[in-house]
Structure 1
Amino acid sequence: MKVRGIALWRVILLVVLVAAIAVGSWLVFDWSRFARTPLSVPVAGQSIDVARGASFKDIVRDLRARGASRASPLYWRVLAIEMRASGRLHAGEYLLRAGMTPRDLIGDMANGKVMQRNFTIVDGWNVGDLRRALAATDTLSHDMADIDNEALMKRLGNEGEHPEGRFLPETYAYVKGDTDSSILKRAHAAMIKTLDAAWASRAPDLPLATSYEALILASIVEKETGRADERPRIAGVFIRRLQLHMLLQTDPSVIYGMGESYTGNIHKSDLTTDTPYNTYTRVGLPPTPIALPGRAAIQAALHPVGGKDLYFVAKGDGSHVFSANLDDHNRAVACYQLKRCQ
């Protein structure tokens, strides 16, 4: 009986051992499958926020809520230990890329490979457009939203500087939680660098005393045309007008001076109502830029096309007709603006 009892226990022990090995093998296989199987990313561009001090349980709960993973937090913890990433995961926002595996995600978190977002300042925006776009970007932290332009420039370290035209249109990368002031500081520095370089290589004998005057002219060119091939030619018209002390007579500057009273149409009375920005009543450049000029407009202002053109009129298709004298210009206006072509 005793021998039979010992044999029975050996059988039971063997069965338990085999079962344990089988379960262990299955767990290892299942964990390995988990680590290399892509997460389920139902929506392109989806991301996950990892807060400071977040546990694997918190991360898995978020992934489950998004339908990206059904795995146990224990699997994630073991994976982090195996990758030697446990205890060094960085807080931040991480992109859930198509085909991304749990191993990829842990690697991104361990290396602080946070999701890069982009904010684009559009050529020709004014500073009001820029500030509204920043305020509407909910992935930025807003530390400039409730102050006026004067206080904004002071906070940026440029007290007394008019903000219009001072920020370079470009796409700026940022991570979730960055401040709107960080975008503005970078755009301001980029404009200074761009303008200084362009001014240093400007064409000779321009009637522009300072780089700021070049910035003002560039902003006018930016608003007058969106065609790259026309910018230097339009800049040439304004350069010659400045040299001849002619009125610039540029509608975008008048509109800028009208401010909120502009409702989409410009009338003859608007052209005769004097403001600092009315280039139909005042000779020379307006006192400040009227928009944020891009690199191409700055280059055009400082490298204008030569010739005799002093006038241009929009054709209605985005292009312009250029004229060297008033008679030709009036005929072009009659044809393209009044539809009285002869």
Structure 2
Amino acid sequence: MRVFKILLMLVVVAVAAGMVGFRYWQAQLLSPLAIEQEQLFEVPRGASLSKVVSELESRGIIEASWPYKVWARLEPDAVNGLRAGEFRLTPGLNGRELVALLSSDDVVSYTLTVPEGWTFAQMRTAMDASPKLEHTTRDMSDEELMAAVGAEGEKPEGRFFPDTYRYHKGVSDLSLYKQAYARMSKTLEDVWAGRDDDLPITTAYEALILASLIERETGAPEERGEIAGVFKRRMERGMRLQTDPTVIYGLGEDYDGSLSRADLRKPTPWNTYVITGLPPTPIAMPGRAALEAAVHPKPGDTYYFVAKGEGKHHFSRTLREHNNAVRRYILNR
């Protein structure tokens, strides 16, 4: 009988100790963490919960790592879905909320904005300078990069869609290039499928080239269709397009901020004062509005335009009218 009482007492003590231990374990997971101000914490790709909580413990964010390791043994499905990336830890967060956060899609994100009208060289410069990206393409030539994107043999200019792209730390720059390339390919395909029937161009790539000229010519959205109409009518009559942005693009690093008569006569593959028709490649990355304008040019009877300031143009029907506009807006200025 005495032995039974002793065993019963030991069982009671063990149960009580277990309950106390369980409550203490739960308290560890539910107590606010030692986070006095917002901070970033990164979960490396492929990191285990054990490694992550050990790092959290060494940084003083959690008091001890053992409650989380116990939790992993008791409920492995609840804690084994950690997401790689940076997370924003805020005051008041408890242990359970911490694990839920590190297992969520709420990673800290960054943005890369590629404006309409940028060249591919400008895009590469911005991409290379973007923080937090995994830079895998810096040492690639343009040709190697296009092959890595899956477009071997294609010229890169104009092939990437200008937009704002979101990413989180550790994302490869190549993945953003692939995303931008796919966006432009799909947009161009959709726009070309809905084109007008009487265009002087015959391929989607020519529409891309034409759209890049339109994009670089005007900063006024309402002018895109009219500029496209001027280009259409000039091409139909066999007139040269004579658009300054093609001269600037052809000059490359030799462009010093102003165009001379000698520049306009300088033969480059892109100089539409010298060549007839479209240049061999786009000269920039056009947005969807410029692409739409290229395949839906505005009807009219104008053949000339000249910049009149603030990104807008004066349109003329005849060369005489155009020369008068040049004197008014350019020479007198």
Which TM-score tier does this pair reach, normalised by the shorter chain? Answer: 0.7 to 0.9
Q: How does 1:113-152 map to 2 (within 5 A)?
A: 114-152=107-145
Q: State the one-letter code of the partner of 1:300.
A: A
Give yes or no for the alignment of 1:311 onto 2:307: no
Deviation for aligned residue 1:279: 0.7
Moved more, 212-221 or 147-156: 147-156
Q: State the one-letter code of the partner of 2:28.
A: W
Contact 2:87-2:106 within 8 A present in 1 as well: no
Give yes or no for the alignment of 1:31 onto 2:23: no
Contact 1:77-1:86 within 8 A present in 2 as well: no
Alignment partner, residue 261 of structure 2: 268
| Equivalent of 1:92 in 84, 87, 109 | 84
Contact 2:220-2:312 within 8 A present in 1 as well: yes
Cα gap change, 1:31 to 1:219, in 2 (>3 Å): same
Deviation for aligned residue 1:202: 0.6
Give yes or no for the alignment of 1:49 onto 2:43: yes
Give yes or no for the alignment of 1:292 onto 2:285: yes
Q: State the one-letter code of the partner of 1:88.
A: N
Q: State the one-letter code of the partner of 1:90.
A: L
Aligned residues: 320
Q: Secondary structure of the equivalent of 1:174?
A: strand
Alignment partner, residue 301 of structure 1: 294
Q: State the one-letter code of the partner of 1:154.
A: A
Contact 1:195-1:298 within 8 A present in 2 as well: yes
Q: Distance between the aligned counterparts of 1:25 and 1:133, measured in 2?
A: 53
Q: How does 1:123-202 map to 2 (within 5 A)?
A: 123-202=116-195
Q: Any stretches of 5+ residues in structure 1 without a counterpart?
A: 1-15
Q: Distance between the aligned counterparts of 1:97 and 1:226, measured in 2?
A: 42
Alignment partner, residue 197 of structure 2: 204
Deviation for aligned residue 1:141: 2.1
Q: Distance between the aligned counterparts of 1:102 and 1:310, measured in 2?
A: 70
Q: How does 1:64-103 map to 2 (within 5 A)?
A: 65=59, 69=61, 71-77=63-69, 88-96=80-88, 101-103=94-96
Q: Distance between the aligned counterparts of 1:239 and 1:47, measured in 2?
A: 56
Deviation for aligned residue 1:56: 4.8
Q: How does 1:204-283 map to 2 (within 5 A)?
A: 204-283=197-276
Quote the RMSD (CA, aligned, Å).
3.2
Q: State the one-letter code of the partner of 2:201.
A: L
Deviation for aligned residue 1:292: 0.9
Deviation for aligned residue 1:204: 1.9
Deviation for aligned residue 1:300: 1.0
Contact 1:38-1:101 within 8 A present in 2 as well: no
Alignment partner, residue 12 of structure 1: none
Deviations 1:253-290 (A, max 9, x none): 11111111112222221001111111111111111100
Contact 1:90-1:110 within 8 A present in 2 as well: yes
Contact 1:222-1:297 within 8 A present in 2 as well: yes
Identity of aligned residues (%): 42
Moved more, 231-240 or 207-216: 231-240
Contact 1:79-1:103 within 8 A present in 2 as well: no
Q: Any stretches of 5+ residues in structure 2 without a counterpart?
A: 1-12
Q: Distance between the aligned counterparts of 2:318 and 2:71, measured in 1?
A: 77
